[in-house]
Amino acid sequence: MKYDLVINNTKTVYTLKKGNVPRIGDELKNLSPNNGFSIAIKDGKIVEMGKNIDGYGEIEIDASKLIALPGFVDPHTHSVFGGNRANEWYRRQLGESYLSILKSGGGIVDTVSKTRNLSREEMIKSTEAKLKRMLLSGTTTVEVKSGYGLNHDTEIMMLETAKELNKYDKFDIVSTYLGAHAIPQEYRENREDYVKLVLDMLDEIKERELAEFVDVFCEEGAFTVKESMKILSKAKSLGFKLRIHADELAESGGSVLAGEIGARSADHLLRISDRGMKAMIDGNVAAVLLPGTAFQMGGEHIPPVRKMIDNGMIIALASDFNPGSCPIYSLPVIISLGVMLYKLTPEEAISAVTINSAYVLDRHSEKGSLEQGKDADILLLDVNDIYEIPYWFGDMHVRYVIKNGKIVYGGDRYE
């Protein structure tokens, strides 16, 4: 039989196979390795795996010195934005507080201004460039949030940008509406009016199919539990899936709300309480951990990751790529930080950026593991085993990135 692509005789294939469900507890440490496996691909899907493939490929790769992993899934990014905040980063290194920077016109206010000033063409071009860099570091599926427009037109344009780029063969994008990211300056005296704007926009976004998820920054200084509940309740009634930024700066109650309302995930969780953890476990809510942000902000607060795992919570890792608190887009770097800062094992970290992250985005039946019938999103790495991925900080020795069955990066070539 003739296949589109055959990957021959891999050193090891880490399949992550587990019946399209997230890994929890000790299961996180089992990546289901198979030595010497070949992988046959046709029409963008994995159609056969094993030591003996019955057929040949139109294109064949000798992978005898390479290991294979599922393409990484990044379930939390803010990839659509204008400009950068490198100057603020340096000011923080000199000891200036975030609040001081915010009062001087920096912080999210600065990014909102720069994002609002982007033309449609500039927004698409700059976002595409970021997504290409992610792809070259192994991210084959990515969630993209709005949230730096904070008005009708820019928020819509951000979601339109994600939808447009999702048409490209190289990217699988899952869009999230995060109008409830912050109260914009022009609404500071009338925050109720801004909450109403967010609520009103939900109908248009649903009708135009511009987002699959709705997220809320339920946090001290952002949106209250009551406001978050109001927004998420309407989103749920319209058929959106739900996410929550929770318990990052303080014990906000966001994790409890996530459990009560049935959110898919609660993210950050640096200051989660036992009550919040129980609510999430009871509600089957995944914990999306963002060690890059904790690292960038000084690493003073670490979530109780081991306690989460021991209690059977679903955990995932994500970049939180954004211009302010985490300008890191590379999931290999996030894996390293997850191991060093959050004390995950390499196996746990890889489970958290593959099958579990795919679960967070409701893509676990298509992505996140290497098995027959799933999308052929595959990474081939020139390393001996998965322990070298966190070891080679920032460079996991990618030799091929295969996206939907096509080689989008091979050796030094990018198409």
Q: Is 268 known as a binding-site position?
A: no
Q: Is 320 known as a binding-site position?
A: yes
What are the backbone angles phi and psi of residue 244, rounded to the nearest 5°?
-145, 130
Q: What is the CA radius of gyration of the chain?
A: 21
CA dihedral sign, ordered 200, 203, 206, 208 = negative
- Give the bridge partners for 38, in sequence order: 50
Phi-psi region of 135 (alpha: psi -120 to 50; beta: other; left: phi over 0): alpha
409 touches 61 (CB < 8 A): no
In a 3-state reduction of DSSP, which class is residue 68?
A: strand
- The string of DSSP codes covering 314-353 is -EEE---B-SSS-----HHHHHHHHHHTS---HHHHHHHT
Q: Is 364 known as a binding-site position?
A: no
Burial of 305 (0-12, 13-18, 19+ CB in 10 A): buried
Q: Is 252 known as a binding-site position?
A: no
Token pair, residue 231, equals: 């927004």
Q: Is 322 known as a binding-site position?
A: yes
Q: Is 248 known as a binding-site position?
A: yes
Q: Is 133 known as a binding-site position?
A: no
Q: Is 32 known as a binding-site position?
A: no
- Give the bridge partners for 7, in sequence order: 39, 61
Q: Is 227 known as a binding-site position?
A: no
- Buried/exposed 138-149: b ≥16 CB within 10 Å, e otherwise: bbbbbbbbbbbb
Angle, CA of 43, 46 and 47, to the nearest 5°: 85
**What angle, rounded to 10 degrees, do the helices at 225-238 and 254-261 form?**
30
377 touches 140 (CB < 8 A): yes
- Tokens 């926009």 locate to 201
In a 3-state reduction of DSSP, which class is residue 415?
A: coil
Q: Is 325 known as a binding-site position?
A: yes
Q: Is 382 known as a binding-site position?
A: no
Q: How far is CA 171 from the centre of its chain?
A: 13
Q: Which residues are annotated as part of the binding site?
A: 76, 78, 85, 148, 181, 245, 248, 320, 322, 324-325
Q: Which residues are annotated as part of the binding site for Zn(2+)?
A: 76, 78, 245, 320
Q: Which residues are annotated as part of the binding site for 4-imidazolone-5-propanoate?
A: 85, 148, 181, 248, 325
Q: Which residues are annotated as part of the binding site for Fe(3+)?
A: 76, 78, 245, 320
Q: Which residues are annotated as part of the binding site for N-formimidoyl-L-glutamate?
A: 148, 322, 324
